[in-house]
Amino acid sequence: MTRQSAIARRAEQLLGTAVVSTAPVAGGDINTATRLRLSDGRVVLLKSQAGPPPGFFASEARGLQRLAEAGAPVPTPLAYDEACLLLPWIEPARPTADAADQLGRDLAALHQAPCAGFGGDKDGWIGRLPLSNATAATWADFYAGQRVAPYLRLALERRAIDADDAEAVAAAMGRLAALVPVEPPALLHGDLWNGNVLWGADGRAHLIDPAVHGGHRETDLAMLALFGLPQLPRVLAAYQEVFPLADGWEERIGLHQLFPLLVHAAMFGGSYGDRAARLARAFL
């Protein structure tokens, strides 16, 4: 491993410890990831970005700290500034059945942690797009107004979804209150797709890159299913043993997946808008 001077100096300033070596880490569409070995023997991850939006890494650090306080398995932030975030290094490993069972229990515990309401204290980011956490009296109002509507508008502006399909999504949002059982707000990871679950060599599945807010707990689980989490049936079975979901939750998964699909449509185009519309029409 070599020592990248600029990255090493930034980490040394934030941590007050010398960097012995650095190595690039593959993966990630937005941030550059670098593995650092420190003179005190620790190994850490530095996430950086050229010209990130103001407060980008502070928002991620707050989210990780909030999840850590709730007992979730996350890398607790070591330091951050406007350009980077430093985290403990988690050695990756293959998913195991035991780790999947524990992840289910961990998510059930997270969703029962104290949560003040639907939304959050501060806005955040989903990818590089702004993410509003403005509070609402009901989950249906919050999800429709702060999770679906902004990205539906953006996808429409960017021609990633056509007008008829956008109308179908909006119509499904109008039926949310009748379709999804009312529950108290749950503390959510908020962006819990497969890529944000890091299976560690310590036998745990760790949660990374959160978009923390108070929402409906079915949303986290629906996002796990969107792009295919390994061992998902075991995760869900363990979750159900601790914190059973309301009847019919499997049929509602598509409603909760509209938000991430529209984000993807706004960011990447492709077929995500069509997929969102097909899911929405199933609820009309």
- List active site positions: 191
Count the neighbouring beta carbons within 10 Å of the beta carbon of residue 94. 8
Count the neighbouring beta carbons within 10 Å of the beta carbon of residue 76. 12
Count Cβ atoms within 10 A of the Cβ of residue 210 and give its class: 0-12 exposed, 13-18 middle, 19 or more buried. buried
Distances (CA, A) of 257 to 2, 11, 20, 91, 219: 42, 37, 43, 30, 7
Q: Is 23 helix (H, G, I), strand (E, B) or coil?
A: strand
Question: For residues 152, 153, 156 and 162, what is the CA-based torsion angle, rounded to 10 degrees?
Answer: 50
Q: Is 211 helix (H, G, I), strand (E, B) or coil?
A: coil
Distance CA 83, CA 209 (A): 16
Q: Which of 183, 153, 175, 161 is nearest to 271 (CA)?
A: 161
Contact 59, 125 (CB under 8 A): yes
H or E segment to which residue 7 belongs: helix 5-15
